[in-house]
């Protein structure tokens, strides 16, 4: 279905999508900070973000559940848009054209590029691992899991957070510095016609019905 655009902008995320994303982003920062503080004393100062060591230990798992719940909403919404297609594989083989901005040589891509899609699936896997291992570590006092299960959970929790933190660093770098003009999609909710046509031509045609502007 095409969208009628009077403002010269292309809608990309509505208000509820943006609120969901920023709840995930804020809870992620609080979790990464408190989690790093539990991981190594060098990061202990970060506990002050949540009101000290005791409050960090109490709040970290609860904030974790909030992040997972809101992320699950995003995962359901964007699942279909992140399925990897044959043109994505072709696009990723021509990285030198991507980096050198020779877009005419590239196959047209839809709402997300393959890098965004791979990161999306990395987020899904790490989020599920963090939830399951986190629940074991949190509820150990109640259910008294075998010690091996608790130890494996501790390692899985640390590894999954490490991968997710690295992934989010890449996500933030590309949103702010690499693909200029992306941030407004998650702040104002819209992108320019030029951005949409340049970075996501298939998506652009789908939402505008091929509008020229
Ligand atoms: C903290 C700083 C963050 C910034 C500045 C940021 C920025 C953005 C921007 C600009 C977009 C739109 C990209 C586009 O439409 O092409 C986006 C999409 C998205 N963000 Fe973030 N984000 C942040 C944190 C996070 C976190 C912590 C998560 C999840 C753990 C996350 C998950 C997503 C997802 C799933 C999308 C939809 C696009 C996709 O499927 O790849 N973001 N973000």
- For residue 126, the domain's CATH number is 1.20.950.20
54 lies in some domain: yes
pLDDT for position 163 = 98
CA of 142 to the centre of ligand 1 (A): 35
On whether the CB atoms of residues 77 and 170 are closer than 8 A, the answer is no
In a domain, 120, yes or no: yes
The set of long-range contacts for 140-143, using a CB threshold of 8 Å and a minimum separation of 24, is none
Cβ count near 55 (within 10 Å): 14
Please give the backbone phi and psi of residue 106, each rounded to the nearest 5 degrees, phi first.
Answer: -100, 150
Ligand 1: which of 131, 171, 172 to mutate, most ligand atoms within 8 Å of CB? 171
The answer to whether residue 98 sits within a structural domain is no
* Residue 86 belongs to a domain: no
Q: How far is the CA of 1 from the centre of ligand 1 (A)?
A: 25
Between 142 and 147, name the one with better pLDDT.
147
Tens digit of pLDDT for each residue in 68-97? 999 999 999 999 999 999 999 988 888 888
Q: How far apart are CA 107 and CA 36, in angstroms?
A: 41
Look at residue 6 and tell me if it is in a domain: no
Please name the residue whose Cα sits nearest to atom 19 of ligand 1.
Answer: 21
Residue 1: pLDDT band with limits 50, 70, 90: very low
Domain encompassing residue 185: 11-74+111-205
Question: Residue 21 C-alpha to ligand 1 middle, in angstroms?
Answer: 7
Residue 125 belongs to some domain of the structure: yes
Q: Is residue 35 part of a domain?
A: yes
Residue 96 in any domain: the answer is no
Average pLDDT for 161-175? 97
Residue 186, ligand 1, Cβ within 6 A: yes
**Does pLDDT of 150 surpass 90?**
yes
Q: Which of 18-27, 173-182, 196-205 has the highest mean pLDDT?
A: 18-27
Per the structure, the count of domains in the chain is 1
Tokens of 103: 């877009």
């Amino acid at each position: 279905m095409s969208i009628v655009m009077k403002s010269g902008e292309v809608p990309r995320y509505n208000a509820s999508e943006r609120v969901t994303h920023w709840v995930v982003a804020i809870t992620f920062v609080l979790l990464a900070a408190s989690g790093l503080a539990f991981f190594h004393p060098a990061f202990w100062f970060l506990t002050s973000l949540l009101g000290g060591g005791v409050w960090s230990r109490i709040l970290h798992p609860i904030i974790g559940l909030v992040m997972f719940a809101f992320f699950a909403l995003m995962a359901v919404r964007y699942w279909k848009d992140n399925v990897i297609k044959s043109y994505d594989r072709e696009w990723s083989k021509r990285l030198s054209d991507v980096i050198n901005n020779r877009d005419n040589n590239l196959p047209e891509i839809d709402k997300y590029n393959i890098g965004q899609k791979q990161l999306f699936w990395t987020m899904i896997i790490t989020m599920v691992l963090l939830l399951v291992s986190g629940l074991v570590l949190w509820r150990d006092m109640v259910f008294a899991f075998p010690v091996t299960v608790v130890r494996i959970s501790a390692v899985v929790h640390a590894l999954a957070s490490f991968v997710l933190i690295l992934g989010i660093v890449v996500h933030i770098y590309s949103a702010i510095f690499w693909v200029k003009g992306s941030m407004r999609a998650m702040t104002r909710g819209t992108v320019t016609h030029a951005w949409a046509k340049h970075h996501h031509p298939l998506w652009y045609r789908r939402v505008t019905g091929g509008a020229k502007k």
